[in-house]
C-alpha cells in the first residue's frame, strides 16, 4: 500500500519510504529506505516530511511503502 508522505502521523522510525534527495529534485529520482529519524516538526508539509534514513540519506518523503500501526 502506498500512502502520500505529507502527514507526519504516518511516518515513524522503521517505516519503509521513498524519499527525494535535494540533489535529485530536478530529476525526480527516488531513494527507498527505512526511516531512522523524522526531522520535520510540523504535522504536515506540502512537499513531504523530511526524514533521515538508516543509511544516512536525508530527504522528503514522497511515498510510504510499508509501515505498522495503522488498521
Q: In the prediction, which pLDDT does 11 show? A: 94
Has residue 71 been placed in a domain? Answer: no
Which residue carries 504516518 as its cell? Answer: 10
Half-sphere exposure of 68 (CA within 13 A, CB side): 3
φ, ψ at 46 (rounded to 5°): -60, -30
Q: In the chain, how many domains are there?
A: 1
In a domain, 52, yes or no: yes
Sign of torsion, CA 24 8 66 38? Answer: positive
CATH number at residue 26: 2.30.30
Domain boundaries, position 50: 3-66
Report residue 4's pLDDT band, with 50, 70 and 90 as the boundaries.
confident
Asked whether residue 35 is assigned to any structural domain, the reply reads yes
31-42 residue pLDDT tens? 999 999 999 999
Q: Tell me, yes or no, whether 39 lies in a domain.
A: yes
- SS3 sequence of 29-71: CEEEEEEEEECCCCCECCCCCEEEECCCCEEEEEEEEECCCCC
Amino acid at each position: 500500500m502506498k500512502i502520500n508522505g505529507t502527514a507526519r502521523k504516518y511516518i515513524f522510525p522503521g517505516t519503509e519510504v521513498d524519499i527525494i534527495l535535494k540533489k535529485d529534485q530536478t530529476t525526480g529520482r527516488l531513494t527507498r529506505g527505512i526511516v531512522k529519524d523524522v526531522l520535520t516538526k510540523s504535522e504536515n508539509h506540502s512537499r513531504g516530511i523530511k526524514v533521515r534514513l538508516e543509511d544516512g540519506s536525508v530527504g522528503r518523503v514522497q511515498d510510504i511503502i510499508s509501515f505498522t500501526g495503522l488498521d
